Amino acid sequence: MSKKNLYFNFKIAILTIIYIIISNANVASANDLDEKSRTVLLNENGKTITLTTEQVKKGKRLFNSNCAQCHSGGGTKTNPNVGLDIKSLQSATPKRDNIEALMDYMKNPTTYDGTESIAEIHPSIKSADIFPKMRNMTDDDLFAIAGHILLQSNIASEKWGGGKIYY
């Protein structure tokens, strides 16, 4: 191998390492999160729950494989005015700022004002016949995804759900 090729390969290796470090710099692993960070609202009555590290990992994995195509970074590609940030979830009708409400939404989605079903255009348990990725989702899966969404308000920057102003 010539010196020129060796130098080129060395530069590629260094740039790859730098890219990996930068892209993972602000990513907290489930094991790094304390109980306070893993505590989210369970229901509309104000009861909270602390997610296990297994639920955190599962929620992230399921969100990334099933939801991130449209909700990358907590935004909504089809409607950039509606995000998954806590303020947007609290402003929805009904509120979607807790695990039970998000699970209900993933089973039977409605418009932001809660007046119409959007099951035919949003993946859900109700529309599993047209959205195959929802067919095998269990309540535990939905719980983990909801937990992941709510957890982002505790651990992610203001970019989570910020939509078009950040992405």
**In sequence order, what are the residues at sequence separation of 6 or more whose Cβ sits closer than 8 angstroms to the Cβ of residue 58?**
140, 141, 144
Instruction: Name which of 24, 72, 28 is nearest 51 in CA terms.
Output: 28
Q: Does 24 count as an annotated binding residue? A: no
Q: Does 144 count as an annotated binding residue? A: no
Torsion over CA: 57, 60, 62, 64 (sign)? negative
Q: For tokens 């929802």, name the residue.
A: 134
Q: Does 122 count as an annotated binding residue? A: yes
Q: Does 148 count as an annotated binding residue? A: no
Name the amino acid, one letter, at 152.
Q
Q: The tokens of 48 are what?
A: 């909270």
Known binding positions: 67, 70-71, 122
Known binding positions for heme c: 67, 70-71, 122
